[in-house]
Every structure is written in structure tokens, then in C-alpha cells.
A and B are shown apart, each in its own frame.
Chain A
Amino acid sequence: GENVEQHPSTLSVQEGDSAVIKCTYSDSASNYFPWYKQELGKRPQLIIDIRSNVGEKKDQRIAVTLNKTAKHFSLHITETQPEDSAVYFCAASNRRRILTGGGNKLTFGTGTQLKVEL
């Protein structure tokens, strides 16, 4: 099955700096890579995602890059703000399995605790 590794487990940055979180996946059939933000005691919220036919996607201060050959993808947050402080999870799934009756479960990384300090 799919295995997703995520680094670092904790990340502390100064407000205004950039933050980068990296993930690797094992299943070359995975084709959908979302990132979730989870604040303490709250539900995971989708912040950005990328499909395997795209190498990079950007949404304001957040960007995600995907290297299919190396099987890794990264989250980039620029101009960090205190409200960016949270746990971030990367995930991977194979959406095409839906067509063959299989599941498209998300396999999550272990999470990165991001702290943005004033």
C-alpha cells in the first residue's frame, strides 16, 4: 500500500519568513496530493491540492510543487503570519481506482507542527 513520509515534524519560523514542508510517497499510481491544515481541536481543512498532471500550483501565499519522477511534493507558504500556525498534513491517493470499484482513500503523512513567531 501507499506510504507517505513528511518532514519536518516541527517547524518554527519568524513572521514574514517562508515555510517549506516536504513529503514523499511510495506508490507511483498515486495521482492526487492534497494538503490539509488542522488547528488544535478542529477538523482538517483542505488548503490546496495538486494532481499528477501538474507540476506546480499556487494560491496566494500558498504553493505546492510535485516531482513525479522523484515521488515527492512540497508545500510552500510565503510571508507567514501567526494565523498560519497549525499542524499541516500532506496526503496522497489514487483517484482512478474509483473507476475500477476500488477506494480512493487518502494516505496521510505524520504531520508538521508549524509555529509562526512574532
Chain B
Amino acid sequence: EAGVAQSPRYKIIEKRQSVAFWCNPISGHATLYWYQQILGQGPKLLIQFQNNGVVDDSQLPKDRFSAERLKGVDSTLKIQPAKLEDSAVYLCASSLGTILAKPYEQYFGPGTRLTVT
């Protein structure tokens, strides 16, 4: 089966600019996650969607980050304005989204490496 797709793979912007990332989850996966992975650290969840509804956005810096999943499939993550500390890899993951389903594992996309200068 096709994996989680993300674009772009790399992005370099100046601070205070805006940027958007796109994710296409595995077909049929109801749950979609955006993680931020700073160099040398483990991924940290930013936001979780179940279909097109937000389940958890407690760690999303809402003053500058936003995300949407309008039709319950693709998702976009936006940063506006970007700060130097936003430099990281942004990983999208998806899962079937039900405790009764197997697999319930989260499958990660290749990520978008963002550099803010």
C-alpha cells in the first residue's frame, strides 16, 4: 500500500515569513497527526485529527500555527509568522484510528525539513 505522502521535502524561509506543509495519509486512515521533531529530539505531537475534527491540539502554538483537514483526508499545517526556533522536521503520521482495528500503529511520512533563517 502507498505510504504517507508529504510535500515539500525541504523548505528554507526567513523569520517572520509564512510556510505551509501538505500531507496525504494512507488511504482509509481516519486519524492524522502532525509532529514536530527538533534535531536530536523525539517527535512531539502538534495536532491530531479524527476524520476532519480536532482531537488534540494542546501542544500547538496557536498564535502562529494552524492546521486543517477539511474533507477528512489531506491536511495542511501552516506557520505564520515563522520564528528561528521553528526550524525542525515536520512529520505527518496516520493510523486507522479505532482501538478495535488492527493495525492501530502510526505510520509516518518522510517529513518536511524546515529551516528558518
Contacts and interface: CB of A to CB of B under 8 A. Distances in A.
Classify chain A: how many residues form its interface, as a range: 20 to 34
B106 A95 contact: no
Nearest to A91: B42
Contacts of A86: none
A110 B40 CA distance: 8
Given A43-B111, A108-B43, A110-B41, A102 B56 contact: yes
By secondary structure, the A interface counts as: mixed
B105 interface: yes
A99 interface: yes
A108 B42 contact: yes
B91 interface: yes
A44 B104 contact: no
A106 interface: yes
Interface string B90-117: 0100000111000011111111000000
Interface string A22-61: 0000000000101010000011111001000000000000
Contacts of A101: 55
Contact of B56 (A105, A109, A110): A105
A73 interface: no
Interface residues of B, number: 24
Contact of B105 (A46, A96, A107): A46
Contacts of B33: 105-106
B48 A105 contact: yes
B45 interface: yes
A110 B106 CA distance: 18
Contact of B45 (A34, A49, A106): A106
A70 interface: no
Interface of A: 4, 6, 32, 34, 36, 42-46, 49, 89, 91, 95-96, 98-99, 101-111
18 contacts: A34-B106, A43-B91, A43-B108, A43-B109, A43-B111, A44-B43, A44-B91, A89-B42, A91-B42, A98-B50, A101-B55, A102-B56, A103-B45, A103-B48, A106-B43, A106-B106, A108-B43, A108-B44
Q: Sort A-B residue pairs by CB-CB distance and give the 6 closest, nearest first.
A: A108-B42, A103-B56, A105-B45, A43-B108, A103-B55, A103-B48
